[in-house]
Amino acid sequence: MHFPAIFFNKMRRLWLHHNPKDIIIFFITMIALIYISGIIFLRVSEDDYHGTTGLFKRPRLTVKYGISCSAIYNLEPFELGKSLIVRKNKSYVGTSDMNIVNGTTDCKRFVVSESFDAIRGSEFEHEFPLAYSLVVHKNADLVERLLRAIYMPHNVYCIHYDMKSSDDFKSAMQGLARCLPNVFIASRLEWVQYAGISRLKADLNCLYDLLESEVKWKYVINLCGQDFPLRTNAELVSELKMLKGRNMLETRQPGMKIRRWSFHYVLKKNKSEYFKSPHRTFKKKPPPPHNIEMFVGSAYFTLSREFALFVQWSPLARDFLVWCEDTYSPDEHFWATLVRVPGAPGEVMRSDPDITEQTSKTRLVKWLALEDILYPPCTGKHIRAVCVYGAAELRWLLNYGHWFANKVDSNTDPILIECLEERLLGKWGSSK
């Protein structure tokens, strides 16, 4: 049945039941929806140059569709309705990897077009440089937006791309590193396998390279391609200074995850064919070296320079890394365990309570199983039981207290990312 027929049949039923209040509410609602749809339709039809930005001509959908991010933050239904229509219509078409390859062939034009040259930072920030490890494997468009959101000319950035990534993606990452002097590609690259030692080594490769940098950074943060900052660099520096050398990461009792290192895990079926993830054998593993007590957590961290040097040079850390090689998902117990080692820089005492994802500020993840228990339901969509955030979660994300959000995706909800970008640029109250 077509929309007009549905509308008039609904009106007829309400009228026959003599409910004028419901008629008025329904009539106002339908007018609002028609108005919103009309605005969207008209704006989609326009070739609006001001709705695009940068060398890659990304559409600024908040401009094109007249969406106010401050209204989204305030959960105004009319504005959220517009964002949902944009999402439903799949109005965002991302920049291809090859476009970024082509865009970075002229570095001077790229830096100016994408406003990297306009990023400065205060003296307060310059006195507290940061390092980043970006372990990425696809969607160069989103990686470039992440890099621009966290970029400061006095910080340093290591990009590790998966050796299995497409040639276009690899070339795009190389282009970003070529055009930005404080961005580089890791000197050693891994074929990253899910839950295998290669994922941990990717971060370690970047960590060791970052320690060789001339930039004497204070803290290092690792991110993936679907992370996005919730704080400006200045805000992040302010919070990191308050740590006074302590680290910020999840570290808790292992519980049932003890099985991840109770047996020897293998990566290959034979000399050439890999398992999809490490496969458990019946061979029991010895306990960890140096009487290390095991803890579990996330693969993501905020670590002090002193702790990073401990990881690089301590014989205990090196022995523990070797022991972890045949465990399952070692990146989820390597960092969480080492930070509890007595005498480690910024040590968390073994007897201290668990530091959970909710209490560690590094990264805010919303798990499907914990929705309606620890946090409100996902307004975007779920991938492998993790929420890809929607625009209606903007207020929750910014007020929860964490530093980075995971997961974001412009193909799921482009308005959320634009609003986060606007907030970082101090453009609240304006969609331009």
Q: Just list the catalytic residues.
A: 332
Q: Write the DSSP assignment of 117-147 as a string of letters.
A: GG----HHHHTS-EEEEEEE-S-HHHHHHHH
The answer to whether the bond into 407 is cis (omega within 30° of 0) is yes
Q: Which residues pair with 53 in a beta bridge?
A: 58
DSSP-based helix, strand, coil % in the chain, nearest 5: 45, 15, 40
Measured CA distances, 419 to 39, 61, 134, 415 (Å):
20, 10, 22, 6
C-alpha dihedral (253, 258, 264, 265), degrees to nearest 10: -80
Could you give phi then psi for residue 356, rounded to 5 degrees?
A: -95, 175
With a CB cutoff of 8 Å and minimum separation 6, the contacts of 393 are 366, 376, 378, 379, 380, 387, 416
H runs (alpha helix) in 242-304: none
- Range list of β-strands (E), 211-352: 219-224, 227-229, 248-249, 263-268, 274-284, 301-304
CA distance 161 to 349: 35
**Beta carbons of 285 and 327 less than 8 angstroms apart:** yes
Q: Which strands, in side-by-side order, build the sheet including 227-229?
A: 227-229, 404-406, 363-365
Residue 312 structure tokens? 């690089």
Could you give phi then psi for residue 274, rounded to 5 degrees?
A: -95, 145
